A and B are shown apart, each in its own frame.
Chain A
Amino acid sequence: MSNSTQSNDKPESQQPQQQKPPVLEEDDEFEDFPVEDWPQEETEQASGSANGTSAHLWEESWDDDDAAEDFSKQLKEELKKVEASS
């Protein structure tokens, strides 16, 4: 029985962390494994290391291949606007 103010539009909630965290859905539950135990070869780790290391699973967060030329050009354009407005 929600008594939320439905007359308002859905607010642009800027701090969703202040909302009460919702109960996890049924389908979010960690499942029972069909077997009790398994050998190391059947673990995720073993299947990951089969093709080398597991390093390829995570990437650096920046991208140096991005067209640096374009960015420089764009930066110069915007710089003019900054200088004009300040």
Chain B
Amino acid sequence: MTSVFEDFEQGQRIGSGPRLAAALTPVAPAEYPERLQSFYRSSNAARLSPDLRYSLFQANGLKLPKQEQNAWIDIFSLYWTAIGEITRFSDAPSSASWVKVFNAWKDLVNMIIRGYTNFGLQAWTLPCLYVVGKYLRIFAMKADTELASQDSGFGDSFQDDITSEFEKSAKLEEAARIINRMFTLCLSDRAPIEESRKWGVYNTTNLLFKTYFKLNSVGLSKNLLRALNASSADLPDLEAFPKSDIVTFKYYIGVIHFLDENYAEAEQHLAYAWNMCHRNARKNRELILTYLIPCHLVTTHTLPSKTLLAPFPRLEHLYRPLSNCIMKGDLNGFDNAMSAGEEEFVKRRIYLPLERGRDIALRNLFRKVFIAGGFDEPKDGQPPVRRTRVPIAEFAAALRIGTHADDRSRVDIDEVECLLSNLIYKGLMKGYIARERGMVVLSKNNTAFPGTGV
């Protein structure tokens, strides 16, 4: 049961950023549920400053440079005010408001930023910045939800959709601007790297990514990336940062490329995130795989194995039916699996790359035709060679199998040729169509279906 003041004192004495940040965490630890109340009741608005000066410094004999000391007293004054708003939710619910919490917390965050720029707060205390930034975002989302629910109470439901769209996340937008200042605060620090706020770059970047994703403004993330790239020469290697920072960073970069349909690049970043991820972080591993699997399908045409998906029933459910149909070349099954999963695929923004799986399914179907064609008569002692001249009609017949065509449906040879030339164009099949002879002439020497061994 440590108090806010004990965390502060210990953090300062041993120079531990996380311990110091614990003092500014607006959530009581499980073993001390009354911690926030007890901190709030330790003073009152009239005596706040002298009380804090006493509890933070005089009572324990902690000495800091004067301006730093004053900055901490100002910081904890604003923290006290914010905690007052937070404890209302348990002590006086009728007057509690997330908007008030957000506004009070925002003052605290601004003060902490000033602490770094003007009052000499040191880089080792950066976890304080992380924790107040993290809760700024959380309180902003709660405030927006609260405002939205009030609006719907007495607002007219015919108001302009555009306006409400904007106002819906007014507080989160505000939080994004402040977190952006936190990012700049870290990136622009010119102190020697050992004591530089540059170590806070990825933590604040990740917080900003999360905020932009929530705001549906993924495009803004690219400004961040440009800023990061421009300073990359001054930044330590990514590997020098804690893994929690880099795994999160790589995940978001991967998803950003993914949404831009740069699947090869997305795959690199997501694979890095996957490899470095803590093996017990189930939820995060599942999120990484959600995007890594479509990348693999597009770039290397590989599918997730049973082993890979076994720990993730949701992913197994999401991807297994599609994977099976791709393997079998079952086009009809593939289409059904796509429409069955459509809502989920669109929601997760993975519909587009998955759709490309249809080409792979078609390739596999046509590949079966090639294999079913067997071998040409071997010429004097040569090893047998697969029949590489395949009638288009055979592919048409395969298409009937793949689409579960019934006896009444007619085959359109033009359409078959179109599908064939599409596969050839995409490099999934190698050869050419000899239209006048109604034949496909496929490449010899196990290159007819590149990368698949035949």
Residue pair A16, B275 in contact (C-beta under 8 Å): no
Q: Is the CB of A85 closer than 8 A to any CB of chain B?
A: yes
Q: Is the CB of B96 closer than 8 A to any CB of chain A?
A: no
Interface size on B, residues (CB 8 A): 74
Q: Is the CB of B394 closer than 8 A to any CB of chain A?
A: yes
The chain A residue with its CB closest to the CB of B357 is A61
Q: Is the CB of B411 closer than 8 A to any CB of chain A?
A: yes
Q: Is the CB of A31 closer than 8 A to any CB of chain B?
A: yes
Q: Beyond A32-B244, A85-B411, is A60–B393 a contact (Cβ under 8 Å)?
A: no
Residues of B within 8 A of A44 (CB): 274-279, 285
Q: Beyond A22-B346, A45-B276, A62-B327, is A33–B244 a contact (Cβ under 8 Å)?
A: yes
Q: Which stretch, B53-61, B97-105, B303-311, touches the partner chain A?
A: B303-311
Residues of A within 8 A of B279 (CB): 42-44, 46-47
Q: CA separation between A48 and B271, bound complex, in Å?
A: 13
Residues of A within 8 A of B349 (CB): 21
Residue pair B413, A1 in contact (C-beta under 8 Å): no
Residues of A within 8 A of B228 (CB): none
Q: Is the CB of B236 closer than 8 A to any CB of chain A?
A: no
Q: Which stretch, B29-37, B81-89, B210-218, touches the partner chain A?
A: B210-218
CB-contacts of A1-58 with B (<8 A): 1, 3, 12-13, 16-17, 19, 21-25, 28-33, 35-38, 42-48, 56-58
Residue pair B301, A61 in contact (C-beta under 8 Å): yes
Q: Is the CB of B352 closer than 8 A to any CB of chain A?
A: yes
Q: Is the CB of B283 closer than 8 A to any CB of chain A?
A: yes
The contact of B364 among A25, A57, A62, A76, by CB within 8 Å, is A62
Q: Mark B303-332, 1 if CB is under 8 A from A, else 0.
A: 111011000000000000000001111000
Nearest-neighbour CB distance to chain B for A57, whole angstroms, equals 4
Nearest-neighbour CB distance to chain B for A66, whole angstroms, equals 6
Residues of A within 8 A of B19 (CB): none
Nearest-neighbour CB distance to chain B for A49, whole angstroms, equals 10
Residue pair B284, A31 in contact (C-beta under 8 Å): yes
Q: Mark B388-401, 1 if CB is under 8 A from A, else 0.
A: 00000110111011
Q: Is the CB of B15 closer than 8 A to any CB of chain A?
A: no
Q: Mark B203-244, 1 if CB is under 8 A from A, else 0.
A: 000000010011010000000000000000000000000111
Interface size on A, residues (CB 8 A): 52
The contact of A81 among B248, B280, B329, B400, by CB within 8 Å, is B400
Q: CA separation between A47 and B400, bound complex, in Å?
A: 45
Residues of A within 8 A of B346 (CB): 16, 19, 21-22
The contact of A86 among B278, B371, B413, by CB within 8 Å, is B413
Residue pair B308, A30 in contact (C-beta under 8 Å): no
Q: Beyond A30-B284, A33-B284, A81-B400, is A68–B372 a contact (Cβ under 8 Å)?
A: yes
Residues of A within 8 A of B372 (CB): 68, 71-72, 75
Q: Contact residues of A with B, CB < 8 Å?
A: 1, 3, 12-13, 16-17, 19, 21-25, 28-33, 35-38, 42-48, 56-64, 66, 68, 71-72, 74-76, 78-79, 81-83, 85-86
Q: Contact residues of B with A, CB < 8 Å?
A: 18, 134, 157, 159, 161, 164, 210, 213-214, 216, 242-245, 247-248, 251-252, 274-281, 283-285, 287, 296-297, 300-305, 307-308, 326-329, 339, 342, 345-349, 351-352, 360, 363-364, 367-369, 371-372, 393-394, 396-398, 400-401, 405, 407, 410-411, 413, 452
Which 8 pairs across A and B sit closest by C-beta, in order of nearness?
A78-B397, A45-B275, A37-B242, A33-B244, A57-B308, A79-B397, A58-B302, A63-B327
A sample of 12 cross-chain residue pairs with beta-carbon separation below 8 angstroms, ordered by A number, consists of A21-B216, A24-B213, A33-B247, A33-B278, A44-B275, A45-B276, A47-B279, A62-B364, A63-B328, A64-B371, A81-B411, A83-B393
